[in-house]
Amino acid sequence: MIEARDLSARLGGRAVVDRVSFTIEPGASFGIIGESGSGKSTLLRAIAGLVPSAGGTLAWEGGAMTALGARERGRKPSQVALAWVNQQPGVSSVIIGARTLEQTEENLGAIGLQLEAAELEALDKASAIPMEYPFTMQARLPGPRP
C-alpha cells in the first residue's frame, strides 16, 4: 500500500501541489486526472523524489518512503534504480538510453553504487507484480513448482 498524507510541493516558490492525500491498495489501479498545469506531473515527481516535498508524508507498506533511499545516500533516484537493476541475478550490465548529456552524466553516477541486502529486498518488494489468476490458485497447491 502507498499512502500520501497532506503532500505538498513548490516550484519556484509557488505552491503547485497543496496537501494532497490518497491511498493506493496493493494491486489497485490509480489515476490522476486534472487540467493542464494542475500539478499532476509535479505530484508524481514529488513522490519519486525528483521535486523536493514542501510538506506531508509518504509511506509504503506503512513505513516512510524517501525516493528509494536516494536522498540519504546523496544520490538521484535514477542512480539507485540503475544500481538495483545492475545487482539483479543474471544481469551483467545495464544499457541506458539517455537523451541529454545531463542524463548520461546522472546515469553514470550509478557506477560503483552497491545497495545493501535490506535495500535490495525493499526495492524487490516495491517492484513485485502481484500474481493474478491462475497463478494465485497454483500458489495454493502443495508440492514443488516447476
pLDDT of residue 65: 55
Contact 53, 9 (CB under 8 A): yes
**What does the block give as the cell for 23?**
491511498
Q: Provide the CATH number for the domain around residue 1.
A: 3.40.50.300
- Measured distance CA(23)–CA(92) in Å, rounded: 37
Domain that holds residue 106: 68-130
- Measured distance CA(138)–CA(133) in Å, rounded: 8
Q: Is 95 helix (H, G, I), strand (E, B) or coil?
A: coil
pLDDT in tens, 121-135: 877 777 777 777 777
pLDDT in tens, 73-113: 778 777 888 888 889 888 888 877 778 888 888 888 888 88
Sole residue written with cell 536516494: 70
**What does the block give as the cell for 66?**
524517501
Q: Is residue 140 part of a domain?
A: no
Q: Poorest-confidence range of 33-37, 48-52, 107-111?
A: 48-52
Residue 63 binned pLDDT confidence (cut-offs 50, 70, 90): low
Same domain, 61 and 6: yes
Mean pLDDT of 36-54: 80
Mean pLDDT of 27-41: 86
**What does the block give as the cell for 63?**
513505513
- Measured distance CA(10)–CA(39) in Å, rounded: 10
Sole residue written with cell 495454493: 140
Q: Is residue 136 part of a domain?
A: no
